[in-house]
Amino acid sequence: MAADPLSRVFSALADPTRRDIVARLAVGDATVNELAAPYDVTVQAVSKHLKVLEDAGLVSRSREAQRRPVHLEANVFDLMTKWIERYRRQAEERYRRLDDVLRSMPDEPPAPTRQEGTPS
Amino acid sequence: MAADPLSRVFSALADPTRRDIVARLAVGDATVNELAAPYDVTVQAVSKHLKVLEDAGLVSRSREAQRRPVHLEANVFDLMTKWIERYRRQAEERYRRLDDVLRSMPDEPPAPTRQEGTPS
DNA sequence: GTCTTTGTCAACCGAGAGGTTGAGTACGAG
DNA sequence: CTCGTACTCAACCTCTCGGTTGACAAAGAC
């Protein structure tokens, strides 16, 4: 089922229906039937989607009579955001440095490390 | 192949190998063979992973003799970050409001809207 | 008690993902 | 031109995913 938490969260949100459900839940808690209403799929299918979201930690389900209100756990987003920010920053930093290097390189390329066009 | 861009990006990053490749590329561009080296899978498999990343817009491949240097396109992360931030903020805002309501509710619960026990 | 509502579980199905091997392409080196 | 290197394309295989139907559990309503 994808062992690591990060894979679970990413793959949970890789489905448009599930992202839609998350968007709906951001407004407020809802029952399974309420969540299923907008889509032309069976309630069972939505129940499966909720299980995926729950396994990813994005959602929690409590018990209340025969209803199972679904609640969005927004804090799990942090896991993704941290991962994304880390590599974006790293890549942008690298880009900035490369830019500096290119700027401080008037004519003579001093032994390129690897990857280089050094066009004409 | 998942029509919408957001699904493509999320599902591209749902695989640990692909996230690893992204992490590697954040350090600097690399060829397919260099990227394949750390893993015990064939070069073809890595090439497929790169195609997925490329289709998601996370990566670009140029031509340089017979090498195909792979480059990380960090700006696509924005798509995800925006989506995530939107609903996280919304959910947190909702939580804050609920908190306010609970705080400004001394004893008497004034007509519960939905979902409520309010026993006896 | 029986009936209805709400939701889950199990089994099945078709499509796609991720892996393999094998052949083919593109390019520089000799 | 021939050879080796770097990579991709095609076919195949297995396993997972999203959907279905059908049966079941749990808890009010009557």
State mean pLDDT over A76-95: 88
**Contact call for B80 and A83, based on CB within 8 A:** no
Spatial distance between the Cα atoms of B104 and A37, rounded to a whole number of angstroms: 34
Distance of CA B106 to the CA centre of its chain: 42
Nucleotide nearest to B65 (CA to C1'): C27
- Cβ contact B62:B68 at 8 Å: yes
A23 touches chain B (CB under 8 A): yes
B41 touches chain A (CB under 8 A): no
**Contact call for A72 and B81, based on CB within 8 A:** no
Residue B47 CB in 7 A reach of strand D = yes
Measured between alpha carbons, how far is residue B69 from residues A67, A93, A94, A114, B57 in Å?
Answer: 54, 19, 16, 11, 15
pLDDT tops 70 at residue B109: no
**Contact call for B14 and A16, based on CB within 8 A:** no
Check residue A86 and report its DSSP letter.
Answer: H
A101 touches chain B (CB under 8 A): no
State mean pLDDT over A89-118: 60
| % of chain A surpassing 90 pLDDT | 60
Topology of domain A5-73 in CATH is Arc Repressor Mutant, subunit A (1.10.10)
State mean pLDDT over A5-32: 96
Query: A30 - beta bridge partners?
Result: A70
**Cβ-based neighbours of B24, under 8 Å, separated by 6 or more:** B30, B35, B38
Spatial distance between the Cα atoms of A92 and B75, rounded to a whole number of angstroms: 9
> Domain map of chain B by residue range?
5-73
Q: Tokens 């509710």 sit at which residue?
A: B105
> Across A7-16, A87-96, A102-111, which has the greatest mean pLDDT?
A7-16
Spatial distance between the Cα atoms of A31 and A48, rounded to a whole number of angstroms: 14
B98 touches chain A (CB under 8 A): no
- pLDDT, tens digit, for every residue of B12-70? 999 999 999 999 999 999 999 999 999 999 999 999 999 999 999 999 999 887 789 99
| % of chain A surpassing 70 pLDDT | 82
Spatial distance between the Cα atoms of A86 and A113, rounded to a whole number of angstroms: 25
A17-26, A90-99, B94-103: which range is least confident on average? B94-103
Burial class (CB in 10 A: 0-12, 13-18, 19+), B74: buried
Predicted pLDDT at B97: 72
Predicted pLDDT at A7: 96
Amino acid in position B10 = F
pLDDT tops 60 at residue B103: yes
Residue B33 CB in 7 A reach of strand D = yes
State the pTM of this model: 0.82
**Contact call for B23 and A64, based on CB within 8 A:** no
